[in-house]
Chains A and B, each alone.
Chain A
Amino acid sequence: MLTFAILIPLLASLVLAFVPLGEVASRWTATGAAALSLVALVIVWAGGGDGFRAVAEVPWIPTLGIAWRVGVDGMSLALALMSALIFVAATAWPLKLHDARAYYAWMAFLAGVSIGLFVTLDLIVFYVFFDLSLVGMYFLIGRWGHGDAQHAALKFFVYTLAGSLLILIGIIVLALNMPTLTFDMRAMIDSPPLAAAGMVPGLVFLAFVIGFGIKTPVFPVHTWLPPAHVNAPGPASAILAGVLLKMGTYGLIRIPLQMMPDTFARWALPLAIVGVISILWGSIVAFAQDNLKRRIAYTSVNHMGYTVLGIAVAGSALGSETARQLAMTGAVVEMIAHGLITGALFLIAGAVWQRTGDYHLPNFGGLAGPAPRLTGAATLAAFASLGLPGLAGFVAELHIFLGAFGVYPWLAAIGLLGILITAALFLRMLRQMFFGDLPKERAGFTDLDRTETALLAGVLILVVLIGIWPTWLLSLIDAASLIPTPGAGG
Chain B
Amino acid sequence: MPIGDLAPELAVLLTAVAVLLLAMVLPQRRHGWCALLAAAGLALSMAFAWAQSDAHRLTFSGTFALDGATTWARFAIPGLTLLCVGLAPRWFATDRRHGEFYAMLLFSTLGAMAMAGAADLMQLVMGVLLSSVTGYVLAAYHRDWAISLEAGMKYFLVGALANALLVIGVVFVMGMAGSTDYRDLAGAIPDNPVALAGLTLVLMGLFFKLGAVPAHTWVPDVAEGAPAPAAAFLTVIPKLAAAVALYRLVALTPETQALPLLVALVAAATMTVGNLCALWQDDVRRLVGWSSISQTGYALMAVAVAGAVPDALPALLAFMSVYGIANLLAFAAIVELRGRTAIADYRGLIRKHPGPAIALTLAFLSFVGIPPLAGFLGKFALFVATLEAGLAWLVVVAVANTILSLFYYLRVIGPAVFSRPEGAMATLGGTARATFWALFALLLATTFLWSPVWSALPRALLP
Query: What is A's interface to B at a CB cutoff of 8 Å?
Result: 60-64, 124, 127-128, 131-132, 134-135, 138-139, 142-143, 149-150, 153-154, 157-158, 161-162, 165-166, 168-169, 172-173, 175-176
CA gap between A153 and B419 in the complex, in Å: 13
Q: A165-B403, A169-B396 are in contact. Are A63 and B417 (CB under 8 A)?
A: no
**Chain A CB within 8 A of B262 CB:** no
| Contact call A165/B410, Cβ cutoff below 8 A | no
Q: How far is the CB of B294 from chain A (nearest CB, A)?
A: 15
Interchain nearest-CB distance for A455 vs B (Å)? 28
| A-B residue pair count with CB separations less than 8 angstroms | 78
Question: How big is chain B's contact interface, by range?
Answer: 20 to 34
* Given the contacts A128-B371, A158-B407, A165-B399, A142 and B414 also touching, CB distance less than 8 Å: yes
Which residues of B are found within 8 Å of A64, using beta-carbon distances? Answer: 381, 384, 454
* 10 pairs, A vs B, C-beta closer than 8 Å: A60-B451, A63-B454, A63-B455, A132-B370, A143-B417, A150-B415, A157-B406, A161-B406, A166-B399, A173-B387
**Chain B contacts of A166 at CB under 8 A?**
399
Q: Please measure, in the bound complex, the distance between the C-alpha atom of A150 and the C-alpha atom of B418, giving whole angstroms.
A: 7
For the complex, what is the distance from the CA of A64 to the CA of B418, rounded to whole Å?
Answer: 38
Check A157/B454 contact, CB under 8 A, given A135-B365, A142-B418, A176-B388. no
Q: Bound state CA distance, A98 and B206, in angstroms?
A: 51
Determine the chain B residues whose CB is within 8 A of the CB of A168 once the complex forms: 380, 383, 399
> Is B383's CB under 8 angstroms from A172's CB?
yes
Instruction: Say yes or no: B417 contacts A165, CB within 8 Å.
Output: no
B370 touches A176 (CB 8 A): no
Q: How distant is the Cα of A124 from the Cα of B372 in the complex, in angstroms?
A: 10
Q: Which B residues are in CB contact (< 8 Å) with A135? A: 365, 370
B residues with a Cβ closer than 8 A to A are: 365, 368, 370-372, 376-377, 380-381, 383-384, 387-388, 392, 395-396, 399, 402-403, 406-407, 410, 414-415, 417-418, 450-451, 454-455
Distance between A111 CB and nearest chain B CB, rounded to angstroms: 17
- B378: shortest Cβ distance to chain A, in Å? 12
Q: Does the CB pair A158–B380 fall under 8 Å? A: no
Distance (whole angstroms) from the CB of A106 to the closest CB of chain B: 11
**B446: shortest Cβ distance to chain A, in Å?**
13
Q: How far is the CA of A143 from the CA of B415 in the complex (A)?
A: 10
**How many Å lie between the Cα of A204 and that of B414 in the bound state?**
33
Determine the residue in chain A with the shortest Cβ distance to B384. Answer: A172
A64 to B450, CA, bound (A): 12
Given contacts A63-B455, A161-B403, A161-B406, contact A154 B383 (CB under 8 A): no
A131 with B383, Cβ < 8 A, contacts A143-B417, A157-B410, A162-B403 known: no
Is the CB–CB distance between A176 and B451 below 8 Å? no
Asked, given contacts A168-B383, A169-B395, A176-B388, whether A158 binds B454 with beta carbons under 8 Å apart, the answer is no
| Extra inter-chain contacts (15) besides given A154-B414, A169-B387, CB under 8 Å | A62-B455, A63-B454, A124-B371, A131-B370, A132-B370, A142-B418, A154-B410, A157-B406, A158-B410, A161-B368, A162-B403, A165-B402, A168-B399, A169-B392, A169-B395
For the complex, give the distance between the alpha carbons of A62 and B451 in Å.
8
Q: A residues within 8 A CB of B455?
A: 62-63
When distances are taken between beta carbons in the complex, the residues of chain B under 8 Å from A173 are 387, 392
Q: How far is the CB of A148 from chain B (nearest CB, A)?
A: 11
